[in-house]
Homo-oligomer: A and B are copies of this chain.
Amino acid sequence: MLHRFAENPIIKTSNLKPLHADFRILGVFNPAAFIFNKKICLLLRVAEQPIPKAGKCRIPFIDHSSGEAKMSFFELNSNDKDLDLSDVRKYNYCGRDYLSSLSHFRLASSSDGKIFEIDSKPWLLPDGENENFGIEDARVTQIESTYYINYSAVSDDGYVTSLIKTKNFKSLKRLGIIFHPLNKDVAIFPEKIGGKYFALHRPDSMPFAKPAIWISSSPDLVHWGNHHVLLRPGQNDWNKLKIGGGPPPIKTEAGWLVIYHGVKQPAADSSEFYSLSAMLLDLENPQKILSNLSPILIPETDYETNAFVKNVVFSNGAIIHPQTQELMVYYGAGDESIGVAAIPLKEILNQLT
């Protein structure tokens, strides 16, 4: 099990101001984690929500109708019989899904990995028709001196995974949609293996299959193929309903260290539980699972169990601390705030081998 920091949550909604009038900060969570300029950096997902109004359901979107992107929302009556409000994260109206909040990315940096300074301005805003419901859950993979950032782009065409690259976090280049709908939880390996790049991803296969972790290869990080199932859900109760990749895999002497999330099959009277697990993949053949350790973090504290979404720990960012050699797992707590939990790298590798 990972050990939580006593100062958790290290970043919370009160640390931020909303960008848009008529909106409030709903959550700051699910950060990417990476080391840049000798600092530990996070790319935060900041979710904004239209300020609630009694009797109304307000659905945010980026409005392009005027020719420029404007944060907006449309309004439905809460008691509309075609409206399903049972999931606080997304609303279903007339059989179609819409998100209850709209996210962008904010940069934060730290010298010790615990106390972060948050940029007052967004680092990346949703852009174009594929992102009119927002951008979510960045993963940052450093390959040599370039940082590749993949994230979920959500729109009324579905959710996809897009990729951008930067060397300095000032200018960036967009590389387009790398995984078509419906796909999220993409975790890119930080170097080529046998001449090809690899990534974990999580296509939605319902109603054929419960969501599983797939692995694919690419010659150039843009075009992906050679898709294989790596791990299906169901190893234990914590991973029974679905699983998906977490932070970019970390190279260790024992294998590729992968942290992933699992979702418990909810009982009729309970909500879903999101927990974290770990596995080791073969260094030369990442399609081969060497060992599995599940779970390594389960929702227990008040900020995880009693938050915007109850009972969630979810990670898409982890680093090895340069000074302490600890595995530092940054995670979204309850889709609302950010915690960090750690374990000496040697210790988790011992448990995995």
Contact = CB atoms under 8 A, between A and B. Distances in A.
A183 interface: yes
A157 B219 contact: no
Given A180-B183, A183-B180, A219-B219, A157 B226 contact: no
A182 interface: yes
Contacts of A214: 180
A209 B157 contact: yes
A141 interface: no
Contacts of A155: 208
A219 B156 CA distance: 29
Given A220-B219, A226-B222, A181 B207 contact: no
| Chain A interface mostly | strand
Contacts of A212: 157
Complex copy number for this chain: 2
Contacts of A180: 179-180, 183, 201, 203, 214, 216, 227
A285 to B, nearest CB: 15
Interface stretch (A90-98, A306-314, A316-324): A90-98
A76 B223 CA distance: 42
A96 B208 contact: yes
Given A179-B180, A180-B203, A158 B209 contact: yes
Interface string A149-169: 000001111111000000000
Interface string A202-237: 011101110010101111101111111100100000
A176 interface: yes
A216 B224 CA distance: 11
Contact of A223 (B183, B204, B207, B219): B219
A177 B224 contact: no
Most B-side CB within 10 Å, residue of A154, A183, A207 = A207
A204 B206 CA distance: 10
